[in-house]
Each structure stands twice: as C-alpha cells, then as structure tokens.
C-alpha cells in the first residue's frame, strides 16, 4: 500500500506558504486557488490530494488525461493547462471545465466550434508569452488586446482571464504580467469576464502571490519529483 505522508507534508507547507505570502503582501481577503498538476502522477496519489481538499486538477497531455480521467475522484474539477492541438479539442471538450492554455486564435476558434457542437460554453484563459521566449507559445503582450477582442466575439467560449509561464528566476516578469492583467481587466472588453490570473508554479508560487495571482499550478511542490517518460 502506498504511503501518502510526503503529500500530506507538502500540503501543509504549501498552505502555510500561501497564507504567509497573503499576509505579507496584504492579500488576506483574496481567494487563491491551488491546482494539483497531475502529469505522470498515478491516480491514487492524485486522489489522495483531492481527498485533502486539492480538488482542482491540471492536465497537460490529452492522451494521458484520457487514460486516467475515469480513475479520478468524482469530486475533482479538471482544467486543461498544456499545449493543446486543435485536432484534439473534441476529445476533451465535454470533460474539462476550463482550458487555460489558449495560445493562438486558431485554437480559440476550434474550441468555439466544438463547444457549439456540444451545446456548451467553455471557460478559457488566454496564455501570454510574457517573456517573449521563442521556446514558448502564447500571445504577445503587444497584440493581446486585439486578440482578446477577436476571441470574445466567438460563440461558445467565455474569456475568464489570462495564464502565463514566465521566464524562471526573474520576478520582473511576474510584475509585468500583473500590470498586463489589470490593464486588460480595466478595458472591460465586451463579452469577457476577466477575473482570473493563473500564474505561479512550484518554483515561484510564493512570489506569484505577491503579484496578484488567483491560481497557482503545483506539481513537484505537491507530489515531489516525478519520473518523466523518456519520449
């Protein structure tokens, strides 16, 4: 039988860290959700985290998600957070409550098309390449407003905010993303409900609290180092 003592200890530390950061940065009254990122994590470990209150799961890979989803605790809410190919949208459209990694207009259009076919409205976040890194996808900050206006005109999708994976080790990008989020929010884009900034991972979640995140995405910090597939 697997022991989940490590997860229990990690959960205690994560909750303490976030509450401490909220007090330090005057965010005591703000709600910050904690997402359990499940890539390569066995379902029984994921389900233990769910039983301890970490009910929001983040899935990175369509195929892995499809293999594991029926094994998850039914109390879990699932967001897709990884790179998503347009031809795989139809495989997840009915079983996730949000797609956080909308990184291009063509993907938004396909989500719109599939959502309409399934008679639903899909909550989405637009992924911003805040560091302008060639190795990462996402909308350019300079073109973001125009892109958001196009996306909000699509049927079957609801723009709920922004997501980013900033360059590691440079807090200036967290601050830049906070300013961009507040700017987009203040513009009151028709058809959008920009209320959520998804920013902060295992290496920088405490700093992300400082810069206004509403959701942190934690894998290693919660489940420990993982054995990734070789291909």
- Cα 10 to Cα 126: distance, rounded to the nearest angstrom: 29
* pLDDT tens-digit map of 141-181: 999 999 999 999 999 999 999 999 999 888 999 999 999 99
Q: Which of 1-10, 80-89, 95-104, 131-140 has the lowest mean pLDDT?
A: 1-10
pTM beyond 0.85: the answer is yes
CA distances from 35 to 152, 161, 229 (A): 25, 16, 22
Query: At 62, which helix (H) or strand (E)?
Result: helix 62-68
Mean local confidence (pLDDT), 76-94: 97
d(CA 173, CA 217): 17
Burial of 141 (0-12, 13-18, 19+ CB in 10 A): buried
Three-state DSSP class for residue 138: coil
Give 162-173 pLDDT, tens digit per residue.
999 999 888 999
* Spatial distance between the Cα atoms of 131 and 149, rounded to a whole number of angstroms: 22
In degrees, to the nearest 5, what angle opens at C-alpha 44 toward C-alphas 41 and 101?
40
The residues spanned by each domain of the chain are: 5-222
Residue 3 pLDDT grade (very low, low, confident, very high; cuts 50, 70, 90): confident
Q: Is the pLDDT of residue 228 over 70?
A: no
- What's the fold here for domain 5-222? TIM Barrel (3.20.20)
Distance between CA 24 and CA 37 in Å, rounded?
26
């Amino acid at each position: 039988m697997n022991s989940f003592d490590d997860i229990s200890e990690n959960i205690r530390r994560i909750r303490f860290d976030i509450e401490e950061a909220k007090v330090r940065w005057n965010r005591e009254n703000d709600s910050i959700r904690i997402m359990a990122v499940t890539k390569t994590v066995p379902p029984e470990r994921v389900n233990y985290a769910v039983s301890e209150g970490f009910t929001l799961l983040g899935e990175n890979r369509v195929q892995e998600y499809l293999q594991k989803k029926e094994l998850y605790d039914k109390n879990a809410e699932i967001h897709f957070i990884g790179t998503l190919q347009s031809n795989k949208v139809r495989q997840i459209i009915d079983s996730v409550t949000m797609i956080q990694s909308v990184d291009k207009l063509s993907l938004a259009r396909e989500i719109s098309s599939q959502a309409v076919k399934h008679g639903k409205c899909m909550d989405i976040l637009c992924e911003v390449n805040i560091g302008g890194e060639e190795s990462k996808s996402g909308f350019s900050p300079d073109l973001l407003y125009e892109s958001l206006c196009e996306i909000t005109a699509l049927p079957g999708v609801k723009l709920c905010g922004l997501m980013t994976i900033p360059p590691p080790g440079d807090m200036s990008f967290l601050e830049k993303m906070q300013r961009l989020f507040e700017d987009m929010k203040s513009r009151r884009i028709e058809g959008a409900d920009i209320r959520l900034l998804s920013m902060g991972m295992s290496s920088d979640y405490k700093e992300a609290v400082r810069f206004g995140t509403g959701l942190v995405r934690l894998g290693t910090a919660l489940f420990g180092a993982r054995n990734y597939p070789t291909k």
